[in-house]
Structure 1
Amino acid sequence: MKRTFSALLVCASLLVVGPPAVAVAPSSAPSEASDLVPGLPRESARPAASPDGAQRPHIEYVPRSEVVPHGLRAAACSRTTGPYQRQTERYLRRDVDGRQSQGDCRAIRRFQQAHRIAPATGFAGPVTGAMVRLMRAKKDPNRAGHCPDRAERTACVDLNRQLMWVQQNGRVIFDPVTIRSGAPTMETRTGMYRIYLRHRRHISNLYHTAMPYAQFFDRGEALHGVYEDIFSGPGSHGCVNLTMTDARRVWDVLKKGDIVYVWGRKPGV
């Protein structure tokens, strides 16, 4: 499906918010990620980084029966096995059996609270799984060697893990951060590119959507910040979305002419 250049300049997210429910139902079978909904209601899922700099939680996706109605009361500890149960158990050095237990839940809740994931019910959903991937990548993000080792600054965009970092001469100069790449039918294109345009306060010319700290690298696709939660919605219109904090930081690292290398495929695309 062809996209016009102007359409590519718009890379805002497509939010998906489901209706809340109230009961917490136990389940021994792992939940499917496609069946999950935001764990807090619409009024709680406000932008993660507002213009005044206030930080808000990352909203986890949970079974409909485990949505916290108003985000005001303490949520019960989930007895449901999440789709990222094994990965989370392994990272937290729990017994890796892929089944939720009270001990698992307490450990996962502590991890969620430490990383601003809400509701912190211990359900190992996609946001918790993404945070586990990020933390595991911190030590050596290019361990698999997918991103080329060059003397030039290279922004490494890993669609498989939804991560980005910058390296130069075999050394990481900007630690890995979470990204949000293109949604289905609007996948971020893979390949090696160079940043050809930078605009700190860019506004898309089609939808008039803000693209702060935009660094364009391929026919309208850019690295840029978003005000909403980086984990919300199915993805961008092709751009590589970053949190506002990360977009601001990487703006100071990259320059026009630097390399952007993109590989892999977004899970579920």
Structure 2
Amino acid sequence: MRSAVVAAVAAVVATGCGPQGSGAAGSSGGTGSGRSAAPSAPADPSAAPSHDDKPAGDTASPSASATPGAAKALMAEGSESEQVRELQARLKQLAYFHRSPTGFYGSITSTAVKGFQTKRQLSATGSVDEDTWQKLLAMTHRPTDAELRPPTTNELDTPDPRCLTGRVMCISKESRTLAWMIDGKVQLAFDVRFGSENTPTREGQFNVEWKAREWTSTLFHTPMPYAMFFSRGQAVHYSADFAARGYAGASHGCVNVRDKVKLSSLFDQVKVGDKVVVYW
């Protein structure tokens, strides 16, 4: 009976998950044609029915441009580059930045820069001009590879207001974390990885549409254990590629988790219909 149900679901569902950037085997994120409609039964018949960052590139937004009368900003909110990753690592050396460097300049990085500028009696703009950068370089050492891309657990972001009620997987792109929350209280937390610029993880409020303890991408033919689908083929799931390569890779849109043991516990707790919020 179980095999018949899974076969029926596979016939109407196109899910895509596979690692980007290396060609290495392993599970990663997914987009693709996705689910056009929910099947009549979840992929796992035993399941009860019932929103700092994209992978870094070398681009910068117009917000990093100079404004009349102001010092030229080398980096500012919206910037995304390896220099931003170095900035975050140097700020972390001085205890102004408390997350793993991501390469994306968001509000958390801006707040850290303001703190550094205020302490050094620089103009506290939250953007990095030449004076700020040179002062930071003089006070810190060149970050090591481990400092730039540490394997440590990321600190949780401030929850989006939509995460404070009910049962919700609260997913922050800025801190790259997933917090399983019930009525505003964190039950479990995970490091997560998202899609690349070309295959981004969708932002917004969703619901868990269906679950599959064992699933293989129908587009990339890679394993997606403990998959919890929330938006047309995009799912939270374990990624062996994320576990092996960390943030050096990217997904095709899914939310990758690298702690398989803890994710199995989350899978058992999450019900179809529970809320999913993916946000910056």
Normalising by structure 1, what TM-score? 0.55
Q: Equivalent residue for 1:25?
A: none
Among 160, 166, 181, the alignment partner of 2:174 is 160
C-alpha separation in 2, matches of 1:91 and 1:234: 27
Per-residue deviation, 1:100: 7.3
1:88 aligns with 2:92: yes
What is the correspondence of 1:1-269 to structure 2 with a 5 Å cutoff? 9-16=15-22, 34=57, 82-91=86-95, 98-99=136-137, 121=144, 124-125=147-148, 127-128=149-150, 131=152, 134-135=154-155, 137=156, 141-142=157-158, 145-150=160-165, 152-175=166-189, 177-230=190-243, 231-243=246-258, 244-264=260-280
Per-residue deviation, 1:34: 4.9
Q: Which has the higher strand share?
A: 1
TM-superposition CA deviations, 1:86-109 (whole Å, max 9, x none): 33124389xx653377x868xx8x
User: 1:180–1:235: 8 Å Cα contact kept in structure 2?
Assistant: yes
TM-superposition CA deviations, 1:221-244 (whole Å, max 9, x none): 100001123524442111101012
> Higher relative contact order by CA 8 Å / sep ≥ 6: 1 or 2?
2
The one-letter amino acid of 1:12's match is G
TM-superposition CA deviations, 1:44-84 (whole Å, max 9, x none): xxxxxxxxxxxxxxxxxx99xxxxxxxxxxxxxxxxx9342
C-alpha separation in 1, matches of 2:221 and 2:239: 14
Per-residue deviation, 1:6: 6.1
C-alpha separation in 2, matches of 1:215 and 1:261: 13
User: 1:16–1:233: 8 Å Cα contact kept in structure 2?
Assistant: no
Q: Which has the higher helix share?
A: 2
Normalising by structure 2, what TM-score? 0.53
The one-letter amino acid of 2:278's match is V
Per-residue deviation, 1:185: 1.6
The one-letter amino acid of 2:182's match is Q
Q: Residue 173 of structure 1 aligns to a residue in which SS?
A: strand
Per-residue deviation, 1:258: 0.8
Q: Residue 202 of structure 1 aligns to a residue in which SS?
A: coil
Q: Residue 158 of structure 2 aligns to a residue in which SS?
A: coil
1:100–1:223 CA distance, 2 compared to 1 (3 A): farther
Per-residue deviation, 1:259: 0.6
Q: How much identity, in percent, do the aligned residues show?
A: 24
C-alpha separation in 2, matches of 1:207 and 1:85: 34
User: 1:213–1:251: 8 Å Cα contact kept in structure 2?
Assistant: yes
C-alpha separation in 2, matches of 1:122 and 1:189: 30
The one-letter amino acid of 1:257's match is G
Structure 2: which 5+ runs fail to align? 1-11, 24-55, 59-81, 98-115, 117-134
User: 1:84–1:124: 8 Å Cα contact kept in structure 2?
Assistant: no
Structure 1: which 5+ runs fail to align? 18-32, 36-61, 64-80, 109-120, 265-269
The one-letter amino acid of 1:157's match is I
- Size of the alignment, in residue pairs? 176
Per-residue deviation, 1:161: 2.1
Superposition RMSD on alpha carbons, in Å?
3.5
The one-letter amino acid of 1:242's match is V
Per-residue deviation, 1:16: 4.2
